[in-house]
Structure formats: C-alpha cells, structure tokens
Amino acid sequence: MQPVVIKVGGSTWGDHDPTLAQAADLWREGISLVILHGGGALISQWSQRLGAQAQFWQGQRITDQDTLEVVVAVLAGLVNKSMVASLQALGAPAIGLSGADGALLRARIRHPRLGLVGEVEEVNGALLASLLGQGLMPVIAPVALEWQDGQPTGRLLNVNADLAAAVVAASLPASVLLLLTDVPGVMVSGRPTPHLSPQEAWALIASGEISGGMVPKVEAALRAAEAGVTVFIVDGRRPGAIVQCLKGEPEGTRIG
C-alpha cells in the first residue's frame, strides 16, 4: 500500500489537536504514514524573545543566519521531539528527524530575497523506504541540507513545510497528501471551495484571491498533484478530518 503524507501546521498542532491520535489509529490499521510539520508561530515567538521581528515575503519567512538558528532549534528540536513523544505515548512508533539527517531533504536557495530558505529538489527516498519498511512513522522537521553540484555544502536551509511535504509525497510516491491548516479549505469569495483545478488555482493566485501563507500551500498541492498524488487542504482542527479524506468524504478542498 502506498503511504500517506500528512503535513501538520504549527497553527493547528497543540494539546487539543486531534491529528496525532488519528495518525496513531491509522498506523494501527496498517496504513504507512509520513508526517511533516511546521512551527511558524513558535518560531515567531522565540524570535521575538530574542529581539528579532519576523518578516515574510510571498507567504514565506525571510531567514537570515540568526533566524535560521531559531528555526533549527524550534523545528528540529522542540516541535519535532514533542511531536514524537506525543505519538509514542499514543502507541505509534514515531521516529523524529530533520531533512538534514541522512541528507533526507536536499535543497538549493529558493530566492535571494528570502535569504537562507531552500527549495527542495531531491529526497533520499531510500532512507524513507527503509524506515517505513521497518514499520516506523517518520516525523520530519523542514530543515534541509544545501546541495550544489551533487554535493552538500555544509549549510542548513529553512524550507517551507508544505512544499517539502509535496516533494516527499511525489517522490515516494504517496497515495494521498493531506495539508492540514486552520481554515475549512481554500477560501474563494469568503467560502471554502470543494475543488480547484490547476488552472483555477493559478488564476486565483494571480488575482490575489489566494494570498499569504495559502499561496505556498496551494503551490505545494499543485506540485504533488502533477505527480499523481491525491491532495486535500483541510482543517486539521476538526475531529475525523484525516479519516474522512482517506474514506473519500473530505470537507476541505481537493486540488487537481
């Protein structure tokens, strides 16, 4: 059975988030899962504690060296290990790693204006296949290795978790990619839309109807859909959201 990739946003994960309990239940049913997670709100909180102001461009965090250190500490440390601990407590054999471990996520600089932000170009699929083959549930923090001319440069890059999840889903390949968020789906004219074709999605981005953090999320969905992955953008706070999508009864937005 092809695995399912779930991207858990920092805006939805917390003490009352039903996502991890659903993930543990699905694992017990024999469904292989890969989880990628964000943590943007917590990064901003820690940056403010250190006297830095978060800045964004086209829905992505501008990352200088000081910000990168916070990103790595929060994502690969606090969030990743807290999520693994929660899944272990739920009986799921979660294993936490960042995209730097085993050169799992290999990236190049996405845009000079964003600073140390990467575009994932390659995934170490053999590593993921090995972990899944052992019955483990990889939980991945979106920190990548910079990769140039077939070699690691030794530098870490911040990567957008939605876009990383899309590349991982396409490379496996996954049967389904679930992008969890804190809204009912992609909002068009103030209402969630149940389906968007690629043409409709690009037009809404161009018009500004889709904006902010939803832009990379929809771009990620389109990238995975091009590889034949079924993609849903859904409200991760809603109990049963993941199970409903896998049963073909989603309430969010299907892309593709």
What's the pLDDT tens digit per position in 137-196?
999 999 999 999 999 999 999 999 999 999 999 999 999 999 999 899 999 988 999 999
Q: Are 56 and 50 a contacting pair, CB within 8 Å?
A: no
Q: Residue 126 carries which side chain, given as an amino acid letter? A: A
pLDDT of residue 14 exceeding 60, the answer is: no
Average pLDDT over residues 21-44: 93
Residues 74-88, buried b or exposed e (16+ Cβ, 10 A)? bbbeebbeebbebbe
**Distance between CA atoms of residues 106 and 62, nearest Å:** 19
**Distance between CA atoms of residues 41 and 38, nearest Å:** 9
pLDDT of residue 10 exceeding 70, the answer is: no
- What integer pLDDT is reported at residue 72 of this predicted model? 96
pLDDT of residue 240 exceeding 60, the answer is: yes
pLDDT of residue 11 exceeding 80, the answer is: no
- What integer pLDDT is reported at residue 163 of this predicted model? 93
pLDDT of residue 16 exceeding 70, the answer is: no
Q: Which CATH superfamily is domain 4-255 in?
A: Acetylglutamate kinase-like (3.40.1160.10)
pLDDT band of residue 248 (cuts 50, 70, 90) is: confident
Average pLDDT over residues 129-134: 96
- What integer pLDDT is reported at residue 13 of this predicted model? 56
Residues 212-251, buried b or exposed e (16+ Cβ, 10 A)? ebbbbbbbbbbbbbebebbbbbbbbbbeebbebbbeeebb
How high does pLDDT run on average in the chain?
91
- The secondary element (H helix, E strand) that includes residue 191 is strand 191-192
Number of helices (H) and strands (E), helices first, in the chain?
9, 16
- What integer pLDDT is reported at residue 92 of this predicted model? 97
Token reading at 14 = 């917390």
Average pLDDT over residues 249-256: 86
Token reading at 112 = 């000079």
Q: What is the pLDDT of residues 45-104, one digit of tens each?
A: 888 888 777 888 877 788 999 999 999 999 999 999 999 999 999 999 999 999 999 999
- Domain coordinates in residue numbering, the chain: 4-255
In the chain, the percentage of residues whose pLDDT exceeds 70 is 97
pLDDT band of residue 238 (cuts 50, 70, 90) is: confident
